[in-house]
Amino acid sequence: MQNLPQQSKSKVFIPGKIGNVELRNRTIRSGCFEGMCANATPSEALIEHHRRVAAGGIGMTTVAYCAISNDGVAFGHEMWMREEIIPILKRLTDAVHKEGAAVSIQLGHCGFFANKSVIGVTPIGPSRKFCLFRYSICRAMNEEDIKRVREDFGKAAKMAVTAGFDTVEIHAGHGYLLSQFLSPWTNSRRDQYGGSLENRLRFPVSVIKHVREVVGPGYPIIIKMNCDDGFKGGLTIDEAVQAGQAFEAAGASMLVPSCGFTARTSFYMMRGNVPIWDYVKSEKNPVTKMGMTLFGRLIVKEIPFQELFLFDQAKRIKDAVKIPVACIGGVCSVDNMDKVKQAGFEFIEIGRATIRDPDVIRKMQSGEISASDCDHCNRCVAAMTAQGVTCVAESKGLMSK
Ligand SMILES: Cc1cc2nc3c(=O)[nH]c(=O)nc-3n(C[C@H](O)[C@H](O)[C@H](O)COP(=O)(O)O)c2cc1C
């Protein structure tokens, strides 16, 4: 007789709460830029992408990077929050809710690595700094900029609530603007926003406090932050632990400790293969293409993949706060998720395994599979800008039992 799959008994598949929102299980699709917002406007493809992830059994899906204002956009096909896109976002949140999942949106500002030709003005950052990623120099934010950006975070959060999102995720990691304030590498200010950790935290903390005032008590505010920036002179885990505590005190409902700096160590947050050839193939500018071919391997460092690569650092942050903490980074199997849950993490964020197969959670819950067959080739990262995020791995059918 054929052996039928056994429904998983893992505690990962029991409901859990973030703030006042209950998720049907402990799995969250992490923010993975979709590349489906031509003209800064969410497309039907974006709606279908998240409906599909929701139908695949996830507890909550996260709509990836949405800039809080036009000057916070990092690439041309990213959306930025404004009144006119609320009806489309409402259709997206309705579609996800119909599939039984919750839905979050990641709100951020990319600061010094904004592309001047896309945003039309000089990029802003904590301090004047050259950005190798863009060959551009940003200007240091003044008090007026700081006030405006803080208010834009509040306005964007309010619009997200109106559009039906169950939570907002503020991007304070990966070298985005709030993380640029935290990092000594990008913040060399001599005023109350620079120098000591307390000063570097002042702006990110004020943003979280402001968003909390806008959304009210109970509404879940998730903070994606860094355990470390991934290079000497950046934020360290010791400081990140204190940052986590400060974010909790400012009103965060949950922390997601990640790592890396998009403009400097872009693959540190993912680990695994760097798909240089996919980038070369899709690059239209012949000079950049040549540069990538010759120097790509030297510029973008490859860091070997490991299962649960942030577990130890994230645990230090978790042990220092009382709010829930989600573990992210290299979660590949039910065993991985059980280890994380048993260590006291309330939620598990998963990126690439859900890109590889949007049904991965449903299949794990039903016992059909026990692990993802994503091989961390990271070709989905190159695909996100070229064609919209998708698994383009050649090897299929490796699902382990
Ligand atoms: C294609 C792709 C796009 C990503 N885009 C974002 C993003 O927009 N915002 C973000 O915070 N992280 C982004 N990430 C990082 C993931 O959210 C996650 O932190 C990382 O992939 C590690 O999780 P994993 O091992 O489960 O994939 C992206 C990752 C991938 C693979």
What's the pLDDT at 397?
A: 43
Render pLDDT for 137-190 as a digit per residue (tens, 0 to 9). 999 999 999 999 999 999 999 999 999 999 999 999 999 999 999 999 999 999
Cβ distance 179 to 172 under 8 Å?
yes
Two tokens, residue 212: 């909390």
Determine the distance separating the centroid of ligand 1 and the alpha carbon of 353, expressed in angstroms.
Answer: 11
Cβ distance 333 to 372 under 8 Å?
yes
Identify which of 30, 305, 328 to mutate to test ligand 1's pocket (most ligand atoms within 8 A of the CB): 30
Determine the distance separating the centroid of ligand 1 and the alpha carbon of 265, expressed in angstroms.
Answer: 13
Determine the distance separating the centroid of ligand 1 and the alpha carbon of 264, expressed in angstroms.
Answer: 16
Instruction: Indicate whether residue 384 lines ligand 1 (CB < 6 A).
Output: yes
Two tokens, residue 237: 């885990």
Instruction: Indicate whether residue 328 lines ligand 1 (CB < 6 A).
Output: yes
Q: Residue whose CA is closest, atom 23 of ligand 1?
A: 329
Determine the distance separating the centroid of ligand 1 and the alpha carbon of 5, expressed in angstroms.
Answer: 30
- pLDDT band with cut points at 50, 70 and 90 for residue 192: very high
Decide if domain 11-271+306-386 falls under CATH 3.50.50.60: no
Instruction: Indicate whether residue 350 lines ligand 1 (CB < 6 A).
Output: yes
Instruction: Indicate whether residue 389 lines ligand 1 (CB < 6 A).
Output: yes
Question: What residues does each domain of the chain span?
Answer: 11-271+306-386
pTM: 0.95
Q: What is the arrangement of strands in the sheet containing 136-140, beginning at the earlier edge strand? A: 124-125, 136-140, 129-131
Two tokens, residue 61: 């899906």
Q: Catalytic site residue 193?
A: no
Q: Are strands 129-131 and 136-140 parallel, antiparallel or unpaired?
A: antiparallel
- The upper half-sphere exposure of residue 358, i.e. CA atoms within 13 Å in the direction of its Cβ, equals 15
